[in-house]
Structure 1
Amino acid sequence: MAGENMSATDAIAGQGVSQHGTVRTPEEERLAGERAEVAAFRRALGLDHLVDVHTHFMPQQVLDKVWNYFDTAGPLLGQRSWPITYRDEEEQRLDTLRGFGVRAFTSMLYPHKPGMARWLNDWAAGFAARTPDCLHTATFFAEASAAEDVRRAVEQGARVFKSHLQVGGYDPNDPLLDNVWGLLADTGLPVVTHCGSGPAAGPYTGPGPVAALLARHPRLRLVVAHLGMPEYEEFLGLAESYENVMLDTTMNFTEFTESIAPFPSRALPRLAALQDRVLLGTDFPNIPYTYADALRGLEKTGLGTQWLRAVCHDNAARLFDL
């Protein structure tokens, strides 16, 4: 997608006025500057739009609890301070993403106990119906109803699933999930999976459980979130071994992450070689820095324009037929 057409929003960025001609608040001014920075990033790549495969939209009561967990630096965060940058109402968060030129995004959500997955999926189906640029997202938990929950979500039109092994605390090889993985392998629907041991390890995180899963279901379209942080090289190895394994860049290469789990420079050539299977992810809105910071981190890898174009748009556009 070449040839950036500057929007009215981009054109007025830095002029101190809103689209309606009123003086902007300091927060509006900050966001306008960030929109301009993201627009410049897109222009440098010849992209009109971005596709973000790892963003979070949830029922408000669930999101409130998630934000409270971040506010209190819970143990799954490694007891680290984690201020939420985009703590806004749902419509404002949608406007913010669209203002960054994100043409498609997900509503990643995840259960932490039995009985949650189905009603989360019903909410997500409604959210996708009223939000056409959202890639209809669903989830599951290791419970007796898992296969039926996933089958129901597929029938509702789910296009991508989320599996959070750290928060869910379940073994991906639990027999309760055998039919789930079989169904997802048959449909070819991608599953974004938090399976690395960062920022804190869980009982079933790390490359071992995922390697065992892929040995049984080698056709799975598994998207390893956060590039598998901190077991980067082991998860790169799985992507090199299984042609349907992909990785997303959520939080990677930012100063926040590099300070605790730096991506090894020796592995950059391997990441470059996987150019067609790396996808942009950000964790918006639950990030302790700006969206522009996330993109700037990717740029600093030095992997070049073609790699960035593929990661920030082309790979996901192909995966989801956008």
Structure 2
Amino acid sequence: MSTAEVRAFWQGLGLPGLVDVHTHFMPQNVLDKVWAYFDAAGPLTGRPWPITYREEEGRRVERLREFGLRAFTAMLYPHRPGMAAWLNGWAADFAARTPDCLHTATFFPEPEARGYVARALDDGARVFKAHLQVGAYDPTDPLLDEVWGLLADSGTPVVTHCGSGPAPGKHTGPGPIGAVLARHPRLRLVVAHMGLPEYGDFLDLAERHPDVHLDTTMAFTDFTERDSPFPPAELPRLLGLQSRILLGSDFPNIPYPYAEALQALARLGLGEDWLRAVCHDNAARLFALPPAG
């Protein structure tokens, strides 16, 4: 599907554009390592994963604007101590020169975490990313308790890869992050990838916690349905949670054109009101975007 067809998708719904809460921008040396991992079809994937939008940074930003994204994120994450503060510095600079990017930050369980998370919030961070699989850390680590508290108190959304797909980690699944929510019930958690493959468990979590959201990243696409199909019996629950499901894509690291994510959502047959909420309105409200004009 061409760029024109992507635009026709949201224009046909009467929307002013799309809001994607799960796009990746990060320092090029870090992104190169991410791409090399997917090129090798690493142990978590087990099959070819071509990067559809392997382009230089400026072109990737331009492409999202051509698609009609009103806002997007710079999801980035550390895999070891001493990395998060540096990533946050890069992300603050990226947001300053990319006004349609929601200023993104991250953290890791380390003594410095509370301090640099507080600084990121003071500097205007609007969304955080936590990757429990890549980071391989326990979200209930005492070093993170004040971090979760700061984020809950500030109402800042935290997009969190906490599901066990594409392969389980020591601290993935609904249990560990559920324990965080039990201690910080006002945390605005955004469960990445709809929590795949534990879809039902994470829908349960969202139904119990009114500030929990889910993003659609890679869910429902042919690529994901092959190994982690969404249970058809759970589809009515997506209507019940219509106001708390957000569009996500994993751009640029997706093994198919961007439009396939939109087509997959339309194929669910949940109606145009649901699509409008998921593809724009919910995130526009969550991030208090100004009216389109």
The normalised TM-score by structure 1 is 0.89
132, 155, 169: which is aligned to 1:165? 132
User: Structure 1, residues 171-192: CA drift from partner, whole Å, max 9, x if none?
Assistant: 0000010100011110000000
**Alpha-carbon deviation of 1:36?**
1.4
More off after superposition, 36-45 vs 194-203 = 36-45
107, 123, 145: which is aligned to 1:156? 123
Which residue of structure 2 aligns with residue 178 of structure 1? 145
Query: Which contiguous aligned blocks of 4+ residues in structure 1 show a shift greater than 6 angstroms?
Result: none
Q: Secondary structure at the match of 2:2?
A: helix
63, 67, 72: which is aligned to 2:40? 72
User: Structure 1, residues 75-104: CA drift from partner, whole Å, max 9, x if none?
Assistant: 233x22111000000011011111110010
Q: Secondary structure at the match of 2:44?
A: helix
User: Structure 1, residues 15-49: CA drift from partner, whole Å, max 9, x if none?
Assistant: xxxxxxxxxxxxxxxxxx51111112112211120
Which residue of structure 1 aligns with residue 217 of structure 2? 250
Which residue of structure 2 aligns with residue 215 of structure 1? 182
Correspondences of 1:223-262 after superposition (within 5 Å)? 223-262=190-229
Q: Report the AA paired with residue 294 of structure 1.
A: A
* Aligned counterparts of 1:230 and 1:154: Cα–Cα separation in 2: 32
* Aligned counterparts of 1:110 and 1:272: Cα–Cα separation in 2: 31
> Is residue 308 from structure 1 mapped to residue 260 from structure 2 by the alignment?
no
> Is residue 119 from structure 1 mapped to residue 86 from structure 2 by the alignment?
yes
Which residue of structure 2 aligns with residue 19 of structure 1? none
Which residue of structure 2 aligns with residue 42 of structure 1? 10
**Alpha-carbon deviation of 1:302?**
0.5
User: Structure 1, residues 139-186: CA drift from partner, whole Å, max 9, x if none?
Assistant: 000111111121111111100000000000000000010100011110
Which residue of structure 2 aligns with residue 287 of structure 1? 254
Correspondences of 1:5-16 after superposition (within 5 Å)? none
Which residue of structure 2 aligns with residue 11 of structure 1? none
Q: Report the AA paired with residue 73 of structure 1.
A: A
* Aligned counterparts of 2:16 and 2:67: Cα–Cα separation in 1: 10
Q: Report the AA paired with residue 147 of structure 1.
A: R
**Structure 2 unmatched ranges of 5 or more:** none
4, 14, 27: which is aligned to 1:59? 27
Across the aligned residues of Structure 1 and Structure 2, the Cα RMSD in angstroms comes to 0.7
* Aligned counterparts of 1:225 and 1:163: Cα–Cα separation in 2: 10
Higher-Rg structure is 1
* Aligned counterparts of 2:100 and 2:156: Cα–Cα separation in 1: 18
* Aligned counterparts of 2:47 and 2:155: Cα–Cα separation in 1: 37
How high is the sequence identity, in percent, across the aligned residues?
71
Which structure's relative contact order is higher, taking Cα pairs within 8 Å and 6+ residues apart? 2
* Aligned counterparts of 1:319 and 1:159: Cα–Cα separation in 2: 10
> Is residue 272 from structure 1 mapped to residue 239 from structure 2 by the alignment?
yes
More off after superposition, 36-45 vs 254-263 = 36-45
* Aligned counterparts of 1:302 and 1:225: Cα–Cα separation in 2: 22
* Aligned counterparts of 2:189 and 2:251: Cα–Cα separation in 1: 21
Q: Report the AA paired with residue 150 of structure 1.
A: V
* Aligned counterparts of 2:274 and 2:28: Cα–Cα separation in 1: 36
Which residue of structure 2 aligns with residue 17 of structure 1? none
**Alpha-carbon deviation of 1:321?**
0.6
* Aligned counterparts of 1:230 and 1:68: Cα–Cα separation in 2: 25
**Structure 1 unmatched ranges of 5 or more:** 1-32
* Aligned counterparts of 1:195 and 1:211: Cα–Cα separation in 2: 10
Q: Secondary structure at the match of 2:150?
A: helix
> Is residue 191 from structure 1 mapped to residue 149 from structure 2 by the alignment?
no
* Aligned counterparts of 1:297 and 1:44: Cα–Cα separation in 2: 16
CA contact (8 A) 2:11 2:17 kept: no
